[in-house]
Amino acid sequence: MIKIKAAVTNAKSEPFQIQEINLDPPKGHEILVRMVASGVCHTDAAVQHQFIPVPLPAVLGHEGAGIVEEVGSEVTEFKPGDHVGVSFGFCGVCKNCRSGHPAACINLNKINFGGIQPDGTTRISLPDGKKLSTFFGQSSFSSHIVVNEAAAVKVEDKDIDLGLIAPIGCGIQTGAGAVLNVLRPAFGSAIAVFGCGTVGMSAIMAARIAGCEKIIAVGGNPKSLELALELGATHTINRKETDDIVGTIHEITDGGCDYAIDTSGNADFVKKMLGSVGFLGKGVILGATGEVTFDIQNELMGDFKSLLGVVEGDAIPKLFIPKLIEYYKQGRFPIDKLIKFYPFEQINEAMEASSRGECIKAVVRMD
């Protein structure tokens, strides 16, 4: 057992408290990682406020990156000194994992939101011995983590700042994967992206890589919309200044998009997103969304549309994250333009800045 520093969520809606906790050593297929950085995600906020009811107290964080310090007795892929990014947890043995869809793991919610590691236990505890819930099998708001090697991705190029690698593990992977892995848009097609946060911007960059002809960014922050144009959008719509978003998109695309994505989780935006696609169009929901009511005949079936929910971009992280890193190195996926760094001690400020829209992707540094 080692003493580490972590940002603990003790109770609903309370600020993170950085304190000393205990971390058990890695077991057979696990690795001990000294964290360099972690992305701050809206999913962390959703748990902090218990919209997603992960058992508390817990250590959150699920977009980690760092350097391997120790490996379990059965680990073969990693060695001390390796640079890694960390993504979501999955069981690896269910039919969905074995068919190449770990983001659809039958045990996904239990492993990532149940407060446990894939083996059903936790590695972290308070100084008095009280167990703390693990988040996404990693709890990256910590100086060190223990994570199953299946969820870690080796970063071969050690010259790349691990602060840029960290947020790829969830938000960036989700947006880019929805486009490149799920929709796989035809060259010259049209796509609309509702929401210009990390997930939306990643989808926009991916749409440009895929060769979409019209890429429409819908958002309410003029600076974000300006950046969306820089990252690949061909058109922008300010939702605060446009009365008929759906009609505007149909006008731009001459009858509706081929594809559309909602990243906001707002019920009204989900309906507008689906309305923006034309016949045979596909709509994707990426944000945590509550109840939405549809007129199936007039809003979905009658126009031969599809509506999909996608988790983690349907990615295999060990394959997909290296591709995104390579796109970044080629200058085709400039994730550095999304990120603002904060010291770990300012994690509450980073979370607040993210929720206010003052930055697109907040990343805290532990080094």
Of 312, 364, 351, residue with least CA distance to 151: 312
Which residues, listed in sequence order, are joined to residue 124 by a DSSP beta bridge? 23
**pLDDT given for residue 299 in this prediction:** 87
* Helix, strand, or coil (residue 14): coil
- Do 154 and 290 reside in the same domain of the chain? no
CATH number at residue 266: 3.40.50.720
| 244 CA to centre of own chain | 30
Determine the average pLDDT of the residues in 56-67: 97
Query: What's the rounded Cα separation, in Å, for the pair 194 and 225?
Result: 11
Summarize pLDDT for 112-127 with one digit per residue, the tens: 999 988 888 889 999 9
**pLDDT given for residue 36 in this prediction:** 98
Q: What percent of the chain has pLDDT over 70?
A: 100
> Is the distance from CB of 60 to CB of 40 less than 8 angstroms?
no
- Establish if 323 belongs to a structural domain: no
Ordered alpha helix ranges (H), the chain: 42-48, 95-98, 108-113, 162-165, 171-177, 198-210, 222-231, 245-253, 267-275, 317-329, 347-355
Summarize pLDDT for 353-365 with one digit per residue, the tens: 988 888 999 999 9
Query: What's the rounded Cα separation, in Å, for the pair 140 and 127?
Result: 19
- Do 257 and 297 reside in the same domain of the chain? yes
Is 353 exposed, middle or buried, given 0-12, 13-18 or 19+ CB atoms closer than 10 A? middle
Task: Provide the whole-model pTM.
Answer: 0.94
The boundaries of the domain holding residue 126 are 2-169+334-365
Check residue 77 and report its DSSP letter.
S
240's tokens: 């605060």
- Establish if 110 belongs to a structural domain: yes
Summarize pLDDT for 117-166 with one digit per residue, the tens: 888 888 999 999 999 999 999 999 999 999 999 999 999 999 999 999 99
- Do 24 and 73 reside in the same domain of the chain? yes
Q: Is the pLDDT of residue 168 over 90?
A: yes
Of the three residues 273, 294, 310, the one that is the final residue of a domain is 310
- Do 159 and 194 reside in the same domain of the chain? no
Q: Is the pLDDT of residue 42 over 90?
A: no
- Establish if 135 belongs to a structural domain: yes
- Establish if 324 belongs to a structural domain: no
- Establish if 345 belongs to a structural domain: yes
- Do 116 and 45 reside in the same domain of the chain? yes
Instruction: Give exposure, 42-62, as e/b (b: 16+ Cβ within 10 Å).
Output: bbbbbbbeeebebebbbbbbb
- Establish if 318 belongs to a structural domain: no
**pLDDT given for residue 289 in this prediction:** 82
- Do 291 and 232 reside in the same domain of the chain? yes
* Helix, strand, or coil (residue 12): coil
**How many other C-beta atoms lie within 10 A of the C-beta of residue 319?**
11
Summarize pLDDT for 273-303 with one digit per residue, the tens: 999 999 999 999 998 888 888 888 988 999 9
Query: What's the rounded Cα separation, in Å, for the pair 185 and 261?
Result: 12
CATH number at residue 120: 3.90.180.10
**How many other C-beta atoms lie within 10 A of the C-beta of residue 352?**
15
- Do 83 and 7 reside in the same domain of the chain? yes
- Do 16 and 128 reside in the same domain of the chain? yes
- Establish if 327 belongs to a structural domain: no
- Do 6 and 29 reside in the same domain of the chain? yes
> Is the distance from CB of 214 to CB of 235 less than 8 angstroms?
yes
Give the number of domains in the chain.
2
- Do 133 and 263 reside in the same domain of the chain? no
- Establish if 325 belongs to a structural domain: no
- Do 37 and 136 reside in the same domain of the chain? yes
- Do 305 and 349 reside in the same domain of the chain? no
Query: What's the rounded Cα separation, in Å, for the pair 315 and 313?
Result: 5
Query: What's the rounded Cα separation, in Å, for the pair 37 and 347?
Result: 11
Query: What's the rounded Cα separation, in Å, for the pair 64 and 36?
Result: 8
